[in-house]
Structure formats: structure tokens, C-alpha cells
Amino acid sequence: MTTPNLLPLGLGLIIFSFLISFVLIVPYIGLLYKLKLTRRREAPKSGKIPLFDKLHDIKTGTPVGGGIFIIFLVTLFFAILFPLSSRLGVYIKTSYPLREELFIIFFTFLSFGLLGLLDDILKIFARPTRGVLGLWFGLRRWQKFILQWILGLTVGFLIYQNLGIHIVNIPLLHIVFDMGIWYIPFAAFMLVAFSNAFNVTDGLDGLASGLLIICLAAFGVIIAGHLDTPLSLFVALWLGSLFAFLYFNIWPARIFLGDSGALSFGASLAVIGLLSGSIIALLVMGGIFVIELASSAIQIFGWKMFNKPIFPLAPIHHAFLAIGWEEPKIVMRAWLLGILLAIFGLWLATI
């Protein structure tokens, strides 16, 4: 299948996934209200209210569960349409052994989603614990981090062992690093880093999901050039469902992804970068995710070393919110920067 032939199939699947997701998401939001899967108030009932809670507790009561909705639909769509497409004469071309590639894609997509779902359930229904900066909701940071690394190392091993990937290409410099078995912890680091980066970015209405759409659109071009049919179909179905979700996630949001979506989507984006051999392009196209994670790390460093914050609030989008920028203004400008970074990353991946 050539790129021109793969393009209409991918575009058609984006439209299909969007239409079905758009029809189903409204009753799904109603179901989340009935199940009381909504954001809870995190501000203390008495005493000084932290700045974060002053800015965000207006979102209390908004349904959380968009990530599970998208993960379920994309997995279901793929399970039905991928076998059907091959029977209808679509030539399935893969860059790697088909079963192993599909297992890695969906193991990442589903396992990180389940980890996030556990965190979401604890945040909504479990009793909060007291942390250094106030009440802590959900899994403790170290618990989540360990579980992420277990999943990341598993995926890294599967990529190295089953797909035989162990090199990293540096564009422009024309340098190829053969990492050997050290590719496993490198891949795990990328998954854990982007999983957390997406999670910390998902703090304003439409911010993370909009940036993800931009990254996936750019990766769709790269993957089409590689003629990797299963990865192309996965990205197309994911994009369509994300478009439907974003319609209800832009300010003022009617539904949030939750950690189920944030952890899964960040890790899955990293896997796409690894499988397409475009890890440097991923770092550029996902540059805002990287900046958001770095700003959170700097803030933690400030508290640990100096016992005071570096920024008014972290991650960086919260700092802009704290100094008076309106939420839609921050999101729109982030999307614009994300588009420019995607163009630059796409250029790097195609030279």
C-alpha cells in the first residue's frame, strides 16, 4: 500500500471514529454523573486555601473519565476494523512482526490506562492523606512512579527483544547510537517521562488533548511515509476519538481525561515515537510536554533545596494562570506553539 492509498483510509477512519465517539460521549457524560465519577473538591475545609485550589476548585463536579472512554472505543474500533480491512483487500504492511507490534501498542495503551484508572478511583472515592503541601489525593507519587517504571521496563524489553529495536538516530548530525541492551531502560525512561509529562500538562481545559492531536497529526504523516498500516490505523482511530472528546473538553470543560487517559496517552505517544524511529522528533513535537515536566521538576527542586517555590505555581501553565492570564488564552497560545514545534519536528523526521 502506497502513501496515497493509505491516506484516504486513514482520513476515513478519523471521520468514522469522530462520528461514533461524538454520538456516544453525551450519554457517557450523563453516566459519569450518575456514577459520581466527578472531580472532588480538594481545598481544605478550614484554614488557608492554597493558590492551586483557589484557581481550580471551580472545576469541582466535572465528570472524570474521558480517558477510559477513548481507550475503550479506540481498542474496540481497532479490534473490529483491522481484521475487516484486511478481508476487504487492504494490504497490511508492517515495519515489524505484526502480532508483536500490536501487542506492544495495546499493552501500553491499556496497562498505563488501568494504572491511571486506579489513581482516578482513589482520588474520587478514597480518603485523602496529608502531604508536605497539604492534602494528597490518589496514589502517592512514589507508588505511581514505581508502577510506571515496571510497565515501562516491560514495554522496553518487548520492543528490544521482540522487535529488535536498539538504535537511536540523531537527525542533522547523522549519528546513529547502537544502545544494545541499554535501549530497554532508555525506552522505559521515555515512556515514564512522557506519561508524567502528559499528566502534568493536563491541567487546563483542552490543553493536553489539543497538543496531543497536533503531535498525532504530525506522526500520522511520518508513519504513512513508513507504510506501517497497523500503526497508521491506530493513530487515525485515536485522532478521531480525540476530536470528539476535545469538543467537550475545551473551556469550560464538560469532561476531563483523568489520569487513566493522561498516563496512557503520554506513554502511547512515546511508544509511537520509538516504533517510528523518530524519538528526537518526538522530543521536539512534544516540546511543550517536556517544558511542563521540566517546570514541575524545577519547582520540586526549589522546595527540596530552598524550602520555597521557584515559580508562583507549577507546572508552567499554572504559573501563567497565577499571574492573571486567562485559561483559554494560555491554551490557545500553547496550541500555536505546539503547531510550530510539530512542523519543526516533522521536518527533522523527514530530512
Angstrom distance (rounded) from CA 208 to CA 202: 5
Is the CB of residue 172 less than 8 Å from the CB of residue 348? yes
Confidence of residue 306 (pLDDT cuts 50, 70, 90): confident
Confidence of residue 60 (pLDDT cuts 50, 70, 90): confident
pLDDT tens digits, 78-117: 999 998 887 777 778 888 999 999 999 999 999 999 999 9
Closest by alpha carbon to 148, among 36, 259, 68, 27? 259
pLDDT tens digits, 209-234: 999 999 999 999 999 888 789 999 99
Evaluated on CA atoms 102, 90, 69, 210, the torsion sign reads positive
Closest by alpha carbon to 73, among 237, 235, 208? 237
DSSP code per residue over 113-176: HHHHHHHHHHHHHSPPEEETTEEE-SS-HHHHHHHHHHHHHHHHHHHHHHH---EEEETTTTEE
Q: Which amino acid is at 227?
A: L
The reported pLDDT for the residue numbered 50 is 59
Average pLDDT of span 251-256: 94
Evaluated on CA atoms 154, 159, 162, 165, the torsion sign reads negative
Structure pTM? Answer: 0.93
Angstrom distance (rounded) from CA 217 to CA 65: 23
Is the CB of residue 273 less than 8 Å from the CB of residue 282? yes
pLDDT tens digits, 265-305: 999 999 999 999 999 999 999 999 999 999 999 998 898 88
Q: Is the model's pLDDT at 45 over the cut of 70?
A: no
Evaluated on CA atoms 112, 114, 117, 122, the torsion sign reads negative
